[in-house]
Chains A and B, each alone.
Chain A
Amino acid sequence: MKLYVYCLAAKIGALAAPVIGISGAAVDLVDVEDFSLLVSEFDGDSAPAVTRENVLAHDAVVRSVLNESTPLPFRFGTVQAEPQLRSYITTHKKALEAKLDAVRGCVEMSVKIISNNTDLDTTAEPAEQGPGVTFLKEKQRELLGSERRVQEAKQVAAWLEEQVGSFARQEEISLCPTEKLIVAAAHLIVREQVTKYRDRLASARNLRPELHFLVSGPWPPYTFSNIELEFKTRFGVS
């Protein structure tokens, strides 16, 4: 029998109220070292289905302990046999404790910014140019375009930092995750500061009417939980 793992928290006595997890399974509390893990029994060889119900259930289970303590959420779909799970926790005990410390009393807020700034380079191409050269010039233009977008993204990220950076205990910023989405920021905010953070964001948005904002939260600290973050790097030629 495998376990579906939702989150890890500092030791909790018992669940405040019964919680239902993915695929309608009941959620249990399992104690490992000085931690409590929220799990449910998971049957079968196939993966947990990524359905609306399961996704929302996963998040709801993680949230259910937010009142008592700030948990470290596991990624959706984490299934382990109990011995392997225990071994993982014991092996990484120190790192997990450090992470729990880092997120204590906080929640995650998310800011995503879209920019529709598409300035196309319309310099005329020289008349005689082979198809090979045209191809490479087009790729060059794309690269330059994406370099320009990266510049814009860096500038917007720096501006965002100026505006609300002081509220965040930690932050994770992604530049240009997609074509129009130039900044995706996650901020770890002490709970009592969330209102001030929101207010400051609201006024900041008015300063940049050309940008489109999405603010969501509060979330459990998904972005600030992973203990293997030191591997984080980007592939590709810089």
Chain B
Amino acid sequence: MSSADFLLQGFIKAFELIFTLDPYILSITGVSIKVSGTATILAALTAIPLSFALAFFNFRGKQTLITLINTGMGLPPVFVGLFIFVMLVPAGPLGFADMIFTPFAMILAQYILVTPIITGISLSAIKAVPKSLIETVYTLGGNRKDAVIAALSEARFGIITAILAGLGRALSEVGAILIVGGNIAYSGSIGGIGEGISYTRTLTTAITSETSKGGNFSTPIALGIILIALNLSVNLLANYFQRRD
């Protein structure tokens, strides 16, 4: 078999897996969306109020917090994975919770990675709202609450873009969730076509393990196509909201 045939066969089989809704592929995709989606929602619920507090209020330690957030935007995932791992292993301070190698641990790791990203981008969007616009709220009879609502409304597309950037980062992240999730799938023969159901195996971690096995590349190619399609959809949405701003 030539190298071109080898690649072609891999892609053909990959599309077969996708279009026949292979349960193994579907379960991995489901875990990815569930883990990254939940982490992003929780991160957004923390990041949006936090970015508003940073934009509108002065408090002690504000500058330190902003520095931490900026640093957090570039946190190495493997370091976050190691940190959560050390916290959650049986001998660690939170070992009693018995959460290591569970989707919860993966959500926690991604939450830590994504929160600074959404906060940082949201804060920039809120700060980009002109001061004159906030003053206009007051001149027209509005109060502080109206000013905050107006700023949220003006920065809405920037905040949505921030959430989508966070989701994109979570979906494509591999280092942290590999360490704390363990890349687990239930099956006697994990990795066979149509065999196995994911527990903590995601698109990215599965690509890592499936590729390292060698031989059959159709499964990692199928997973890669789905991952790219998901990220492309997220980016198209982000572009749409940026254009509307």
A and B together in one complex:
no
B residues sitting closer than 8 Å to A (CB atoms) are: none
